[in-house]
Structure 1
Amino acid sequence: MITYNSLSIALPNIDQTTVTEWIGRVAESHQRVVGDINYVFCNDEEILDVNRRYLQHDYYTDIITFDYGRGNVLSGDLYISLDTVRSNAELFGKPYDEELHRVLVHGVLHLVGINDKGPGERELMEAAEDAALALRTVE
């Protein structure tokens, strides 16, 4: 089950049913099933607090993924800063909606086991994001 929550901001304007179905297709494409995935939308200060408190990182980011999955079941909490999603969309010259969906699936791909910090991993993540975005039906 996928849930959509927020801390102190409004939920983004997405069709939750469509996103949930899309994430199911992405999971299936990686031979996984969706367990409990909790999206938590927040602002920059809130994600910075989560980053400091739980990861001892002192920087802003677009998403933090906490993985609770077991076996082929994807479960976790995915904190997404809508402030950073918006500023990254501007920085990369992408529509906000496209950047938001990229971040939504980025966290799921972390749950699948794809990393993006080591040598060559960023390219693998970007290819996986592109493949996942291709499975999306326009809302």
Structure 2
Amino acid sequence: MALKNLQLSLQFGNLKDAARHRAALPRHSVTRWIRHALENDAEITVRIVDAEEGQALNRDYRQKDYATNVLTFDYTQEPVVTADLVLCAPVVAKEAKENKKTLQAHYAHLLVHGTLHAQGYDHETSQQDAEEMEALETRVLAGLGFRNPY
């Protein structure tokens, strides 16, 4: 299967330990991870933020007043997927440590997860949808050389 085209904007907000997160997210890797999860061509912005920005976005757009690992803002799904993926660096780092994963492996998982959300997959609608999305994530990540994130 041929990989889909991706126009990627990779942005880093004001992070305390930005070098660590930049090292875990080389542009070529981010591009590769997202392209493997795409069903259509895409224009995606990935923004890595601090806890304050992550919490403000989650509060303003989801009415949940805490920083979460990844937020997906999907605008179109066809013919081109357009979306913003916002990842909260401190939350990602904390979860990676708690789950005994490398920071890079956790970022890969969350970028695949967010990319699937941008294409209409949703694990919160039903148990069947959650199982389908998790199976797809696991398959994509295995193809990229990462172990099952669940």
TM score, norm. by length of structure 2: 0.79
Aligned partner of 2:8: which letter? I
Gaps of 5+ in 1: none
Following TM superposition, the consecutive aligned residue runs of length 4 or more in structure 1 with deviations greater than 4 angstroms are none
CA spacing shift, 1:16–1:87, aligned 2, 3 Å? same
Q: Show CA shifts across 1:62-104 (max 9, x none).
A: 0111001241311111110011111111222222211111011
Please report how far the alpha carbon of residue 137 of structure 1 lies from its aligned counterpart in structure 2 after TM superposition: 6.0
Structure 1: distance between partners of 2:12 and 2:29:
19
Structure 1: distance between partners of 2:79 and 2:143:
20
Matched, 1:131 2:139: yes
Identity of aligned residues (%): 29
Gaps of 5+ in 2: 1-6
Matched, 1:3 2:9: yes
CA spacing shift, 1:91–1:18, aligned 2, 3 Å? closer
1:119 to 126, 136, 140: 126
Matched, 1:12 2:34: no
Query: What does 1:1-139 correspond to in 2, within 5 Å?
Result: 1-9=7-15, 10=18, 12-13=22-23, 14-27=25-38, 30=39, 32-34=40-42, 36-120=43-127, 121-136=129-144
Please report how far the alpha carbon of residue 125 of structure 1 lies from its aligned counterpart in structure 2 after TM superposition: 2.2
Asked if the contact 1:26/1:135 (under 8 Å) is kept, the reply is no
Deviates more, 1:108-117 or 1:5-14: 5-14
Structure 2: distance between partners of 1:117 and 1:70:
19
Asked if the contact 1:22/1:137 (under 8 Å) is kept, the reply is no
TM score, norm. by length of structure 1: 0.85
Deviates more, 1:105-114 or 1:50-59: 50-59
Structure 2: distance between partners of 1:114 and 1:70:
11
Structure 2: distance between partners of 1:22 and 1:136:
7
